[in-house]
Amino acid sequence: MSTYGVARKIWQLAKKPMKKAKALGIIITNNKIAESNNFGRGCHLRNTAWGKYSGCNHGCTIWDTSIGNYTNIAWNVSIGPRTHIYENFTTHDEFYQPGEGDTDRGKMPFDGFICRIGHDAWIGCNSVILPGVSIGNGAVISAGSVVTKSIPPYAIVGGVPAKILKMRFSDETIGRLEETQWYMKSKGEILLMKETLEGLVGFNMKDYQEKYLRVRTMLT
User: pLDDT for 124-160, tens place per residue?
Assistant: 999 999 999 999 999 999 999 999 999 999 999 999 9
Q: Which CATH superfamily is domain 3-165 in?
A: Hexapeptide repeat proteins (2.160.10.10)
User: Where in the chain are the domains?
Assistant: 3-165
Between residues 111 and 63, the one the model is more confident about: 63
Question: Using CA of residue 130, residue 132, residue 133, residue 137, what is the dihedral sign?
Answer: positive
What's the whole-number mean pLDDT along residues 186-198? 95
pLDDT given for residue 14 in this prediction: 46
Whether the Cβ atoms of residue 56 and residue 43 lie closer than 8 Å to each other: yes
Confidence of residue 161 (pLDDT cuts 50, 70, 90): very high
Tell me, what's the pLDDT at 108? 61
Encode pLDDT of 42-96 as tens digits. Answer: 999 999 999 999 999 999 999 999 999 999 999 999 999 877 778 888 888 777 7
- Does the structure show a pLDDT above 80 at 168? yes
CA–CA dist 191, 197 (Å, integer): 10
- Of 101, 106, 104, 103, nearest to 90 (Cα)? 101
For 10-56, the pLDDT digits (tens) are: 334 445 555 656 555 667 778 898 889 999 999 999 999 999 999 99
Please give the span between the terminal C-alpha atoms of the chain, in angstroms, as a whole number.
62
Residue 19 has what pLDDT? 61
Determine the pLDDT at residue 213. 76
Task: Check residue 166 and give its pLDDT.
Answer: 97
Nearest to 39 by CA among 25, 59, 57, 61: 57
What is the Cα–Cα distance from 147 to 161, expressed in whole angstroms? 6
Concerning whether 84 is annotated as a catalytic residue, the answer is yes
Sheet holding 122-123, edge to edge: 38-39, 55-56, 72-73, 122-123, 140-141, 155-158, 163-167
User: Catalytic pick from 58, 84, 92, 119?
Assistant: 84
Query: What pLDDT is recorded for position 27?
Result: 73
pTM confidence score: 0.81
